[in-house]
């Protein structure tokens, strides 16, 4: 069961990937986790990635793919895996398809968690964080007892830069331009499925499980 999770930032695909991982006993894999593990273990690929990251540069697609393929070859992926956040572009997807084909395998399911932009902006721009203890809130879905004050330690809450509406919209614009075309790519591969991400988290997960059966 080899799965690619798709969806805009804030759509909840990471949460769904974690739930799939727990239910089916397959690892949830992100490039961030791969980079950190290889850098921590001082692997050759990790050192190459670190040289780019230290300069504030994006890790090139070819190196990222090498790291991903190396991760997918590990024993815990023998029964499948969930790729969360990779591929992000058509060239990455094509390179992944080619690499898997050379190993006589392929992606079985590409699952898109669909959420309209307006919903995502509302979700993310409503987040608030406590700079004191790290507690998180949402002004609509999980507000603090006292307005803008942390329930845990009494510190005034802040809105992270990444959660500001204009920043969220910029991230969505990048997603639509670079990553959304993957939906059509995997549809042509015959493994594309979509779920309504505006529904409650448990209902979305139930819909995904029906697909995976």
Beta strands in the chain (DSSP E): 2-6, 28-29, 81-84, 109-114, 127-129, 136-138, 192-196
Residue 31, pLDDT > 90, answer no
48-62, 128-142, 186-200: segment of lowest average pLDDT: 48-62
Domain that holds residue 203: 2-26+79-115+174-212
Given the residues 13, 71, 123, 128, the one annotated as active site: 13
Residue 59 has what pLDDT? 87
**Residue 10 belongs to some domain of the structure:** yes
Give every CB contact of residue 80 below 8 A, 6+ residues apart in sequence.
1, 2, 3, 24, 26, 108
Whether 170 sits among the annotated catalytic residues: the reply is: no
**Residue 92 belongs to some domain of the structure:** yes
Residue 204 has what pLDDT? 97
**Residue 128 belongs to some domain of the structure:** no
How far is the C-alpha of 66 from the C-alpha of 69, rounded, in Å? 5
Whether 88 sits among the annotated catalytic residues: the reply is: yes
Q: What is the pTM assigned to this prediction?
A: 0.85
Whether 160 sits among the annotated catalytic residues: the reply is: yes
Average pLDDT over residues 169-175: 92
**Residue 146 belongs to some domain of the structure:** no
* pLDDT digits 0-9 by tens, 84-105: 989 999 999 999 999 999 989 9
CATH of the domain at 109: 3.40.50.300
% of the chain surpassing 70 pLDDT: 100
Given the residues 71, 123, 127, 128, the one annotated as active site: 127
Given the residues 48, 50, 164, 171, the one annotated as active site: 171
**Residue 16 belongs to some domain of the structure:** yes
Number of domains present in the structure of the chain: 1
Residue 57, pLDDT > 90, answer no
Least Cα distance to 108 among 45, 33, 193 occurs for 193
113: left (phi over 0), alpha (psi -120 to 50) or beta: beta
């Amino acid at each position: 069961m080899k799965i690619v999770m798709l969806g805009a930032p804030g759509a909840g695909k990471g949460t769904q990937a974690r739930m799939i991982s727990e239910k089916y006993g397959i690892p949830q894999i992100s490039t961030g986790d791969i980079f950190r593990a290889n850098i921590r273990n001082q692997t050759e690929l990790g050192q190459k990635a670190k040289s780019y990251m230290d300069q504030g540069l994006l890790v090139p697609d070819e190196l990222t793919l090498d790291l991903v393929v190396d991760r997918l070859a590990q024993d815990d992926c023998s029964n499948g895996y969930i790729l969360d956040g990779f591929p992000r572009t058509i060239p990455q997807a094509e390179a992944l398809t080619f690499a898997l084909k050379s190993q006589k395998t392929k992606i079985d399911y590409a699952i898109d968690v669909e959420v309209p932009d307006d919903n995502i902006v509302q979700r993310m721009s409503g987040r608030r964080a406590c700079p004191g203890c790290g507690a998180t809130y949402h002004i609509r879905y999980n507000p603090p007892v006292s307005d803008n004050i942390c329930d845990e330690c009494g510190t005034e809450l802040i809105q992270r830069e990444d959660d500001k509406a204009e920043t969220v919209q910029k991230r969505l614009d990048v997603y639509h331009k670079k990553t959304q075309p993957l939906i059509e790519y995997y549809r042509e591969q015959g493994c594309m499925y979509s779920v309504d991400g505006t529904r409650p988290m448990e209902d979305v997960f139930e819909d995904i499980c029906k697909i995976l059966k």
